[in-house]
Amino acid sequence: MPGFVGAVQIINVSSAAVFHIGDVFLINPFSNSKTYAGAGSFITGEDITVTNEISSTNTYDNDAVDQPLLLNL
């Protein structure tokens, strides 16, 4: 059923977001990202001690596609 929408002010829509007003059958937002992090980067909690003398993050990725989004419905 159609609806009436008043004034809308959009400040920001991120690259992986969907903004829609009105009737819709299907919305499929897709995004992908790759994160590189060194030792102890994603550790969360209380009273954590990380001893890291030499840290090196390997960012060499020889494959062209990790997870394709093509035909990912």
Is residue 68 one of the residues assigned to a domain? no
Which residue would you say has higher pLDDT here, 14 or 11? 11
Is residue 45 one of the residues assigned to a domain? yes
| Range of the structural domain that residue 19 is part of | 10-52
Number of domain units in the chain: 1
Is residue 65 one of the residues assigned to a domain? no
Residue 16 contacts residue 28 (beta carbons within 8 Å): no
Taking only the tens place, the pLDDT of each residue in 26-69 is: 887 777 777 888 777 888 888 888 887 877 777 787 877 777 76
pTM: 0.40
Residue-level pLDDT at 38: 79
Is residue 5 one of the residues assigned to a domain? no
| Tokens of residue 36, six digits | 């590189």
Residue-level pLDDT at 69: 67
Please give the DSSP secondary-structure letter assigned to residue 41. T
Is residue 3 one of the residues assigned to a domain? no
> 13: part of which helix (H) or strand (E)?
none
